[in-house]
Amino acid sequence: MIANIFRIPDLRKRVFFTIGCLAVYRIGVHVTTPGIDPQALSALMQAQAGTLGGVISFLDLFAGGAFAKFTIFALGIMPYISSTIIVQLLTSVIPHLEQLSKEGEMGRKKIQQYMRYGTILICVVQSSAISRWIGKGAEVVTFDNSFFFTFIVVVTVTTGTMFLMWLGEQITERGIGNGISLLIFAGIAARIPSEFVKIVDTVTAGQLNPVAFLLLLIIFAAVIFFVVYEQEGQRRIPVQFARKVVGRKVYGTQSTYIPFKINPTGVIPIIFASALVMIPNQIASMMGDSFPFVARIASALSPGHIPYLFVYGTLVIAFAYFYTAIQFNPVEIADNLKKQGGYIPGYRPGTHTQEYLQKVLTRLTLSGALFLALIAIFPDILMKMKMFSDISPGFIYLMGGTSLLILVAVDLDTMKQIESQLIMREYDGFLSKKRRKRSIR
């Protein structure tokens, strides 16, 4: 029960600490970057809604609403996530990083240091591009010197992202769950009520068909169901351990299984593909109108366009396979089973087991990657439909696709962590009653 959380002093302290950190994050979302006129910025965003509405809504999704307001947390935590994934990918390519990953705590700290350096570099590039784009609106910037404005933006926004990175690490160490994931979760969840009120006002004013709104809610409910099913789904590979003698005791044959999730990579392929597909827009923003060819490419790779859907979906599938290959090594799993005296029924230990695990993992990755790609482009497909064309991109991006996947994944992970804390202290958890009913049956 939820009440049991507050009966444990340590767990109660962690929960309140997490809530306090998330409150600080949400306060910072409303602190505008120096040198910006908020009213003029709002007018600029509304004027760009026709051409860049999808891009702004997409970037604003991961920034928790801070990008559209151009606050100190305008980039959110995405630069740190991008840097983390890049370093993880390079670990399998660069021998030095691979060696550091095997050196325990000291190696992990060194890799984290590289991630922070990468975060700063990404922040500087992205904030410079955004400042040039914002600077095109003469009434938005209150500074006369464009270089000084760019410098202020780079320093402020980079500092904001580094603070969020530190805040996420504090939540992980002293709070509950993964701090970075909870920050993204809070940013998405905090915008749902306001966006829902806006869409209801649109329906009340007669600007949107109520049937379309009701159908959209049904679609979102179905998406939530499939996301939960996909996140919890597993393929269990049966494993038998032969009889062995330990000291004077003889242990008989034991049966267990290797759990392979339907989606072993989580939301990482979507997040990394999102960061990569936005690079042309950032380059175009930095170059301005000097290179029309780059601007045309950036426009074609903007959310809502057919080339964008194809490239985005392909990147998600590619990164799903690549990240799975890094995280799961069938050769290592087969060798460990062989050393421990375990085997998969019907397959001989060694090469045959390795080939079987590789085949299973490839099939699971294909189904998971296709599902992720469909989820990623799902909001853009909805906006292509005439029935939903009057709905704002912000609401569709918020309530469908990637955002729902992040919300469900983080929520399930946090509940499992709290559940494990309760069970460790012999309290009934969220799932205890269900387990008792199943055991009685």
Q: Which domain holds residue 311?
A: 2-440
Average pLDDT over residues 291-310: 75
Instruction: Please determine, for residue 440, whether its predicted confidence score (pLDDT) is greater than 80.
Output: no
Indicate the average pLDDT of the chain.
Answer: 79
What was the pLDDT predicted at 24?
Answer: 92
What was the pLDDT predicted at 439?
Answer: 40
Give strand pairing partners of 343: 240
Q: Which of 180, 201, 199 has the alpha carbon at shortest distance from 191?
A: 199
Provide the whole-model pTM: 0.77
- Close Cβ partners of 92 (under 8 Å, ≥ 6 residues apart): 98, 326
Q: Which of 195, 216, 192, 213 has the alpha carbon at shortest distance from 411?
A: 192
Cα angle at 89 between 81 and 410, to 5 degrees? 40
The pairing of beta strand 244-246 with beta strand 234-241? unpaired
Instruction: Please determine, for residue 57, whether its predicted confidence score (pLDDT) is greater than 70.
Output: no
User: Could you give the number of structural domains in the chain?
Assistant: 1
Instruction: Please determine, for residue 49, whether its predicted confidence score (pLDDT) is greater than 80.
Output: no
Supply the CATH number for residue 352's domain: 1.10.3370.10
